[in-house]
């Protein structure tokens, strides 16, 4: 009966407008949500539990405000919710070291996470955590089944491959070929009462530090045309002005 962990991260709602104050992004007025791919990770973890038994623990590394997404995960059906307290910005090395230690302490056997967090867009955490634990990893899976072992579908060499995964492993999830479940009333009530387990783990110093955040340079206004006939001129410009053909 596997001890299943799913990693969830709180990020700005993807519809939110990002504003910059001085030289840093200001998120104070932004609605925060669970990173969209993490929803697929939660769903995959729950499907795994339904097939193989065991428990699912949702883990986030962040401040107290991030507990909201743990409650969201609880409402959908995870068993336990854990927050590893952190306030400082951590580079990938620091974050993964903390997560690796937490996974070892918890006795995790399989970890699901998102393909990439909506804020960093990095996709580093899954494979990096696996390497630190000495585990297998498969990234960007679009489906999984649990008849017997763990078998996943992931993009490979211009097609898709079905891979058998030897546990322990870390699996990062792309948008799956399934629907993610929504919380029901009972789940929401349980989540309200659930308590978050809080751990603190010392992180190594970060050697990558943010020096500046800014809005992308505004694109100079493009050329605009009315009517389909203009497509002929645009085709010429693509060759002669943009040099992309």
Ligand X SMILES: Cc1cc2nc3c(=O)[nH]c(=O)nc-3n(C[C@H](O)[C@H](O)[C@H](O)COP(=O)(O)OP(=O)(O)OC[C@H]3O[C@@H](n4cnc5c(N)ncnc54)[C@H](O)[C@@H]3O)c2cc1C
Q: Which residues between 17 and 76 bind ligand X (CB under 6 A)? A: 36
The least distance separating ligand X from the CB of residue 235, rounded to whole angstroms, comes to: 17
Nearer to ligand AMP, 30 or 237 (CB): 30
Interaction partner, residue 203 (ligand AMP, ligand X, another protein, none; CB < 5-8 Å by kind): none
231: its two tokens: 């497509």
In degrees to the nearest 10, what's the CA dihedral of 71, 42, 126, 107? Answer: 70
Three-state DSSP at 63 gives coil
Q: Residue 1 interacts with another protein (CB under 8 A)?
A: no
Q: Residue 154 interacts with ligand AMP (CB under 6 A)?
A: no
Phi/psi-derived region of residue 72, left when phi > 0, alpha when psi is between -120 and 50, beta in every other case: alpha
Stretch that binds ligand AMP, among 45-53, 55-63, 142-150, 204-212 (CB under 6 A): 55-63
Q: Residue 170 interacts with ligand AMP (CB under 6 A)?
A: no
Q: Residue 139 interacts with ligand AMP (CB under 6 A)?
A: no
Q: Residue 226 interacts with another protein (CB under 8 A)?
A: yes
On whether the CB atoms of residues 4 and 54 are closer than 8 A, the answer is yes
Interaxial angle between packed helices 125-133 and 92-106, expressed in degrees from 0 to 180 and rounded to the nearest 10: 50
Q: Residue 12 interacts with ligand X (CB under 6 A)?
A: no
Q: What is the DSSP string of 107-135?
A: T-SEEEEESS-TTT----HHHHHHHHHT-
Q: Residue 25 interacts with another protein (CB under 8 A)?
A: yes
- How many residues sit close enough to ligand AMP to count as binding (CB under 6 A)? 21
Q: What residues from 9 to 48 belong to the interface with ligand AMP (CB under 6 A)? A: 9, 35, 37-38, 41
The least distance separating ligand X from the CB of residue 203, rounded to whole angstroms, comes to: 30
Nearer to ligand AMP, 136 or 237 (CB): 136
Nearer to ligand X, 142 or 201 (CB): 142
Q: How far apart are CA 6 and CA 73, in angstroms?
A: 9
The least distance separating ligand X from the CB of residue 195, rounded to whole angstroms, comes to: 29
Q: What residues from 113 to 132 belong to the interface with ligand AMP (CB under 6 A)? A: 113-114, 116-117, 120, 122-126
Nearest C-alpha neighbor of 65 from the set 15, 108, 9, 110: 9
Q: Residue 123 interacts with another protein (CB under 8 A)?
A: yes
Between the CA of residue 96 and those of 42, 102, 133, 137, 144, what are the distances in Å? 19, 10, 10, 14, 25
Q: How far apart are CA 62 and CA 83, in angstroms?
A: 7
Angle made by CA atoms 232, 233, 237, in degrees to the nearest 5: 120
Q: Residue 230 interacts with another protein (CB under 8 A)?
A: yes
Q: Residue 189 interacts with another protein (CB under 8 A)?
A: no
Residues near ligand X (CB under 6 A) are 14, 36
């Amino acid at each position: 009966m596997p001890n299943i962990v799913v990693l969830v991260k709180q990020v700005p709602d993807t519809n939110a407008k990002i504003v910059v104050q001085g030289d840093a992004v200001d998120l104070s007025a932004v609605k925060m949500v669970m990173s969209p791919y993490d929803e697929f990770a939660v769903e995959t973890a729950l499907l795994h539990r339904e097939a193989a038994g065991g428990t699912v623990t949702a883990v986030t590394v962040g401040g107290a405000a991030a507990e909201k997404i743990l409650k969201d995960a609880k409402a959908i059906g995870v068993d336990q919710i854990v927050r590893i307290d952190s306030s400082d910005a951590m580079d990938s090395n620091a974050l993964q070291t903390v997560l690796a230690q937490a996974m070892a302490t918890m006795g995790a056997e399989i970890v699901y996470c998102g393909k990439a967090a909506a804020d960093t867009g990095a996709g580093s955490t899954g494979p990096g955590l696996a390497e630190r634990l000495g585990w297998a990893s498969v990234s960007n899976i679009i489906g999984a089944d649990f008849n017997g072992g763990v078998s996943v579908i992931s993009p490979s060499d211009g097609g898709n491959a079905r891979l058998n995964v030897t546990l322990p492993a870390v699996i990062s999830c792309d948008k799956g070929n399934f629907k993610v479940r929504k919380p029901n009333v009972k789940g929401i009530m349980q989540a309200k009462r659930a308590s978050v387990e809080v751990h603190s783990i010392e992180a190594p110093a970060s050697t990558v530090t943010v020096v500046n955040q800014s809005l992308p340079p505004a694109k100079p206004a493009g050329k605009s045309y009315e009517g389909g006939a203009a497509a002929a001129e645009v085709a010429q410009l693509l060759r002669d002005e943009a040099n992309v053909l």
